[in-house]
Structure 1
Amino acid sequence: MTINGVALVTGASRGLGAHIARRLAADGWPVAVNYRSDAEGAARVVADIEAAGGRAVAVGADVTDENAVREMAFDVASRLGPIQVVVANATGPQPARPAEEVSWRDHLDQLEFFVKSPTLLLQATLPGMRALGGGRFIHIGSDSPVRALPGASAYNAAKGAQLALAKTWARELGVHNVTVNVVAPGWIPVERHDDVTAEDKAGYAADVPLGRMGTPQEIAEVVAFVASDASRFVTGERIIVNGGHTLG
């Protein structure tokens, strides 16, 4: 896809989002680095991109708030240009709870990030994508629903809804040359996993056919492919990136 606009990565001040933002910038995309509270982290990502010769701005916004998302899209357009690629990566806490303790509030907390936020982002950016002749909407999903991880029923339900959303949008938006896909990582350790033991990581890796943990950069590479012209005939797909952990 010809780069005529901007890539917006939500939740990009650290973790997977930061790696994705840097990788898209390396491909030539001007990048809007969204954050909710970590302004310093977002500034570091922007500085990294600029040091490598790219263009980026940090944009603070709660992506579950309708007015904030609308204002963010306007801000990005005025500073960098219209948004052509959205990477919906932002997430919140994911507490593990047994089914008998999961509340409706627990479900809503997950749906806020994986259904409400993408909906707001699409509505705020679709007019610009249409004007540019096409775009990419990329959800960051998870392999957790496929693995049906115990204790994660609210998270898994919301991620399942996210996939259904993506498939429906793919059918609706193809006429506008807008593709919609889900990149679904397995467990990829990032900063928030600093307290995880080497033993736990080794136990996880032992069940992965490729025999190791994945890296944030490997997820960013797949996102970069989905954002590129090489993926122009791929839409409505969930691309699981977990070293074969869910095979069979």
Structure 2
Amino acid sequence: MDGAALVTGASRGLGAHIARRLAADGRPVAVNYLPDREDAERVVADITRAGGRAAAFHADVTDEDDVTALVAAVEAELGPVDVLVPNATGPQPVIDAVDVTWQDHLDQLTFFVKSPTLLMQAVVPGMRSRGGGRIVQIGSDLFERSAPGMSAYSAAKGAQLSLTRTWARELGPWNITVNVVAPGWIPVERHASMDPRYVEAYRREVPLGRMGTPAEIADVVAFLASDAARFITGERITVNGGHVMD
């Protein structure tokens, strides 16, 4: 399978690194963005300078019509989507459990259940007709850490894992693998103002003695998207230096 990769929320953060890494493997890459056109174009420019092929695509991946139009646009410009990485996310506020509302839960489920479902439904018919594909979800080790104030986020990540395993069983007969890469805390641009003392406290809890990097997440995504992972499906690979072991 050498078709295009669609990475949502790829204008910055982990998504940008994943997009660059998949392009380095020779895949055309669709860099999806919503508010950050300049950042998305910068990722595309990085890929192009490195000899790869990419294009930026504006779409709200929580909206059904936008997702349908996005996949059609990607396939018209870059070719069929053989790799899907639903990476887009939204705000992740810290809210005490006694204050969490149903809307707080829906906000997280929108990104980790609704959006992946819409994207999967848009790309799977083509994958089936071509004899296979790869879906790589981006999870989180917070599902195990049960961090206070993150109940809505953690619950949605648990639902995302359940989706992945069910899809793996349903889509396996068509040679479509479905897996989750679950990072620990990987500092990216939005963590620039984080208190250094918090970063150091986290680092001391990591058996490997350091923070992970976005490139290390991107490498695992690229592996699962490759032919080397052709017999791996329904799995969750935690990438956190041993901070949580499940």
Task: Give the TM-score taking structure 1 as reference length.
Answer: 0.98
Question: Could you report, residue by residue, the CA deviation over 1:178-220 in whole angstroms, capped at 9, with x for unpaired residues?
Answer: 0000000000000000001222111101000001100000000
- Secondary structure at the residue paired with 2:66? helix
Quote the residue 1:195 is aligned against.
Answer: 193
Aligned with 1:166 (options 164, 167, 179): 164
Shift of 1:32: 0.1
**Correspondence 1:139 to 2:145:** no
Q: Which residue of 2 aligns with 1:58?
A: 56
Alpha-carbon separation, structure 1, partners of 2:221 and 2:98 = 36
Q: Which residue type is aligned with residue 196 of structure 1?
A: M
Amino acid at match of 2:86: A
Q: CA deviation digits over 1:57-109, x for unaligned, max 9?
A: 10000000000000000000100101110001000000000000000000000
CA distances 1:88-137 after superposition (whole Å, capped 9, x unpaired) = 10000000000000000000000000000000000100011112210001
Alignment of 1:1-248 (within 5 A): 2-3=1-2, 5-247=3-245
- Which consecutive segments of 4 or more residues in structure 1 shift more than 3 A? none
Unpaired runs of 5+ in structure 2?
none
SS in 1 for 2:193: coil
Is the partner of 1:139 in helix, strand or coil?
strand
3-state secondary structure, aligned to 2:137? strand
Q: Secondary structure at the match of 1:181?
A: strand
Matched position secondary structure for 1:243 = coil
- Amino acid across the alignment from 1:66: E
Look up the SS of the partner of 1:120 in the other structure.
helix
Distance 2:236 2:204 in 1: 24
Aligned residues: 246
Equivalent position SS for 1:95: coil
Report the residue type matching 1:105 in the other structure: Q
Q: For residues 247 and 141 of structure 1, what CA distance do their matches in structure 2 show? A: 15
SS of match in other structure, 2:56: strand
CA distance in 2, matches of 1:101, 1:89: 27
Aligned partner of residue 236 in structure 1, secondary structure:
coil
Identity score, percent? 67
Aligned Cα root-mean-square deviation (Å): 0.7
Distance 1:247 1:47 in 2: 38
The TM-score normalised by the length of structure 2 is 0.99
- Residue 247 of structure 1 aligns to which amino acid in structure 2? M
